[in-house]
Structure 1
Amino acid sequence: MNKPVPTIEPRKRPRQARSTVTVDAIMEASARILRTNGLAGFNTNAVADKAGISVGSLYQYFPTKEAILAEMLRRKRKHLLADMVAALEGMETRGDEQTTRRLVVAAMRNQARHPKLAQALDYANAVLPLHEEIARTNRAIVEAVESFLVFRNTPRSSEAAADIVALARGMMLQAFRGDKVDEAALTDRICLAIAGYLAELRRVHGRHDR
């Protein structure tokens, strides 16, 4: 028999300041538990205790631990997209290197720093029925990068944007699996990899920046 699909939708969204504080406390408590214990120690009782609220109060917003994980993923991707779009503001007055660095810094700001937290969110991303939601956000992120490449007359801009997003994400995921990361050095390496990719792409297709 197939396992039942976990409930991942919140029971309600916060509409008042007090409710927002409660949901934010649930999110922060969840992140702290996952950073320390991973999924093995993650359940609604533990989250409520860490957040300083009753389980009943937690259930007013989230019916399952999977619903909490889903909300964490939604927030993470939403913040990433917003930061990427913000990083592109004023790109008309900046060079490729500066804009690329702004995009990488924005992406890194939203990367889970702790291995156990990153593993938990990757697991949730793989198993929870969020594929359509995540796919929409991923497309929007790629489209944001593509807008920069189109402005710079980059050949195959759509494919290149997807490649760059995948390249940067892969390098970050690999780096943050370790205990300590030199983020400045990692930023430099990712920017160098992107610059090399774009230079070779333009060489192969005989196109140049404006």
Structure 2
Amino acid sequence: MARIVALTPRKTPRQGRSRASVEAMLTAAAQILEVRGIAALTTNGVAERAGVSIGTLYQYFPNKETILAELVRRQKMQFFEDMFGAVQAAKAMDLRRATETVLQASIQHHARAPELSRELEKLEDMLDVDEEDICAGGGLVDRQIVELLESFGIAQPETAARDLSALCRGMVHAALADGECDLAAIEARLRPAVFGYLGLAPEGA
């Protein structure tokens, strides 16, 4: 599929009723993606499921790409929040427990809706969602992970953080893209790889 350049929403809802309508449309779109996949998503289908007119939908979302971009943006921001919380908690732990906590957060983020996460993962690289808040959120989490690794005496923490992020992201994305939704199985495969990279002994050793 060719790269999609997504537009930003036409306007931001300010009144309670408008915000409720936008939330209903995004919820409807997420439900369609989760059950039927990307190919089934249309603006008419979203409007009908959300109980709004197509004219109301177009006031906020000029096309389905903007709806998808907003769903991806929200997922990314939720991921950053999950990771930030995990890193803060990990500061009071030893390296093994800290690693487990951050790894679990990176995986369990998808557990809220694994089928939806799988569909959104397919879209992330094709949608232009590099907005200021996303870049800031991602940068903050990256810095926190570098600092956490540095506090444990990990050599070249910036490189280690990048490598570990690529390792986890690559394995999770590949598994989801292949249709796998067993997050426990994905985590079980990731744990020895991450532990090995950090020089931690295998579990039970």
Paired letter, 1:156: Q
SS in 1 for 2:88: coil
Give the match for residue 203 of structure 1.
none
Give the match for residue 63 of structure 2.
64
Give the match for residue 102 of structure 2.
103
Give the match for residue 160 of structure 1.
160
How far 1:56 moved relative to its partner? 1.6
Distance 1:161 1:154 in 2: 10
Give the match for residue 29 of structure 2.
30
SS in 2 for 1:89: helix
SS in 2 for 1:93: coil
**Could you report, residue by residue, the CA deviation over 1:15-37 in whole angstroms, capped at 9, with x for unpaired residues?**
34333322222222111212233
TM-score by length of 2: 0.80
Q: Is the 8 A contact 2:6 2:128 kept in 1?
A: no
Give the match for residue 204 of structure 1.
none
Q: Is the 8 A contact 1:9 1:67 kept in 2?
A: yes
Give the match for residue 208 of structure 1.
none
**Could you report, residue by residue, the CA deviation over 1:124-159 in whole angstroms, capped at 9, with x for unpaired residues?**
323333356666554443323212112212111111
Give the match for residue 199 of structure 1.
199
**Could you report, residue by residue, the CA deviation over 1:59-115 in whole angstroms, capped at 9, with x for unpaired residues?**
22211111111111111111111111111223332112222222222222333622x
Q: Is the 8 A contact 1:48 1:58 kept in 2?
A: yes
Moved more, 44-53 or 93-102: 93-102
Give the match for residue 84 of structure 1.
83
TM-score by length of 1: 0.78
Q: Is the 8 A contact 2:44 2:54 kept in 1?
A: yes
Distance 1:37 1:118 in 2: 12
SS in 2 for 1:36: helix
User: Are residue 129 (structure 1) and residue 160 (structure 2) matched?
Assistant: no
Distance 1:180 1:126 in 2: 20
Give the match for residue 148 of structure 2.
148
SS in 1 for 2:197: helix
Q: Is the 8 A contact 1:171 1:190 kept in 2?
A: yes
When residues 187 and 179 of structure 1 are mapped into structure 2, their CA distance, relative to the original with a 3 A threshold, is closer
When residues 93 and 180 of structure 1 are mapped into structure 2, their CA distance, relative to the original with a 3 A threshold, is closer
Moved more, 163-172 or 18-27: 18-27
Distance 2:26 2:108 in 1: 17
Give the match for residue 113 of structure 1.
114
Q: Percent identity?
A: 35
Distance 1:180 1:107 in 2: 14
Distance 1:12 1:23 in 2: 11
Give the match for residue 39 of structure 2.
40
Give the match for residue 179 of structure 2.
178
Distance 2:21 2:97 in 1: 39
Give the match for residue 207 of structure 1.
none
When residues 82 and 65 of structure 1 are mapped into structure 2, their CA distance, relative to the original with a 3 A threshold, is same
